[in-house]
Amino acid sequence: MATPATAANNNMQYDPVSKAAHWLTFALVAAQFAIGWMMPEIGWGTEPEGLIGVHLALGASLLIVVTFRLLWRLTHRSPAPLSLTPKWQRWVAWLTHFGLYTLLVVMSLTGWASASAREWPVKAFGVIPLPALVAPHAKIGFVLGDRHAGILSWALLCLIGIHVSAALYHRFVKRDAVLQRMLPSP
């Protein structure tokens, strides 16, 4: 039987599905950045082979995972904020999360549009084919691809840095339970 302290602690924790989706997103994004930096330069006539093909499959999979996370978050309550966290920090956290979700979706869509313009097949999880987002050779697809590999990826990296820094600040400076709420339960 759960004690009042255990029940209060469970109300502060994210549910197991939210935790699993968070860490799956982390793994996919980390893989995407690593692969993106190791990929060959993409130019006219480049084929979606090797790392490029893996990057496409992971990007499409990431879009599905993030969409699932958004739907899950809309239908399942987040734990109550820690009572000692100032309102401005909760607002900054909300803004950072909003930015992360937005950029994850935008990054996935711009990469997909770029692949569509190049007539590359995009398959989520490597097996679920997705339709083209733009017409073959559409200029917008190439422009979005440039933004995808440029300013959008740097903006996402900056937001990830803020997110991780905040988690570490809560763990090592404030010594509160913010980080533990998303860690796997013992």
pLDDT digits (tens, 9 = 90+) for 136-160: 999 999 999 999 999 999 999 999 9
Please tell me the predicted confidence (pLDDT) of residue 84.
Answer: 74
Q: How far apart are CA 118 and CA 142, in angstroms?
A: 8
In a domain, 82, yes or no: no
Q: What is the CA radius of gyration of the chain?
A: 19
In a domain, 1, yes or no: no
Structure letter (DSSP) for residue 128: E
Q: How far apart are CA 101 and CA 9, in angstroms?
A: 27
CA angle in degrees (0–180, nearest 5) for 6-90-177: 30
45's tokens = 């006539």
Please tell me the predicted confidence (pLDDT) of residue 11.
Answer: 62
In a domain, 7, yes or no: no
Please tell me the predicted confidence (pLDDT) of residue 81.
Answer: 73
Supply the range of the domain harboring residue 165.
Answer: 15-74+90-181
Alpha carbon of 50 to those of 39, 54, 55, 111, 158: distances in Å? 8, 6, 9, 16, 28
Please tell me the predicted confidence (pLDDT) of residue 68.
Answer: 98
In a domain, 50, yes or no: yes
78's tokens = 């987040």
123's tokens = 């398959």
Please tell me the predicted confidence (pLDDT) of residue 86.
Answer: 85
The count of domains in the chain is 1
In a domain, 33, yes or no: yes
In a domain, 32, yes or no: yes
Please tell me the predicted confidence (pLDDT) of residue 7.
Answer: 38
Please tell me the predicted confidence (pLDDT) of residue 143.
Answer: 97
Please tell me the predicted confidence (pLDDT) of residue 78.
Answer: 85
pTM of the model: 0.90
State the CB neighbour count (10 A cutoff) for residue 35: 17
Ranges of residues in the chain whose predicted pLDDT is under 50: 1-9
Query: What pLDDT, in 10s, does the model give residues 23-44?
Result: 999 999 999 999 999 999 998 8
Please tell me the predicted confidence (pLDDT) of residue 5.
Answer: 40
In a domain, 81, yes or no: no
In a domain, 4, yes or no: no
